[in-house]
Amino acid sequence: MEPSTYSSPAVLRRVELAALLLVDVVMLIAAFVFYYMARFRWGWLNPGSEPASPFVAMFLMTGFWIVAFLFSGLYKEKFAPSRFDELALLFKVITVGSLIVFFVMFGNALEAGSARPNLLFYWATIFVSVATGRMLVRSIQQV
């Protein structure tokens, strides 16, 4: 019997990376949509100025986060020995990235009193969504 080429470690690693990337993109888009709706449609946060093209903003933000995850090592081979280590690194990357994004993109568009709740809500939506997606991928991997 010939061993299956689909179960080689290199192929499995590519499948794992593709799954992580796909889940990260989907969860980042979901987080952006949730934040956008909460801020501009539902009135949960002080809206400030709405972006001219939400879709362009969504794709730019998703691209920023994927590049940030790539440079931080979240797509390295077996970078994290445990889920806790992965969540700790994700926490750091999203915290620093949120501060960068917020002050570059949204800092001037918000009033001083509404900046803190907007930043916290943005950070939480990104962290919870990406962490949930990654933990789902890791749980499926172990089955």
pLDDT single digits (tens) 40-74 = 778 777 666 677 788 888 999 999 999 999 999 88
| 107 vs 134, more confident | 134
CA atoms within 13 A on the CB side of 41: 8
* pTM, entire model: 0.83
Identify the pLDDT of residue 1.
47
Contacts of residue 27, defined as CB under 8 A and 6 or more positions apart, other chains included, come to 129, 130, 132, 133
Identify the pLDDT of residue 45.
72
Question: String of b and e for 17-45 (b: at least 16 CB within 10 Å)?
Answer: eebbeebbbebbeebbebbbebbbeeeeb
| 112 vs 17, more confident | 17
What's the mean pLDDT in 105-130?
Answer: 80
pLDDT band at 136 (very low <50, low <70, confident <90, very high): very high
| 6 vs 120, more confident | 120
Give the distance between the most distant pair of CA atoms in the chain: 68
| Cα–Cα distance measured from residue 66 to residue 17, given in angstroms and rounded to the nearest whole number | 12
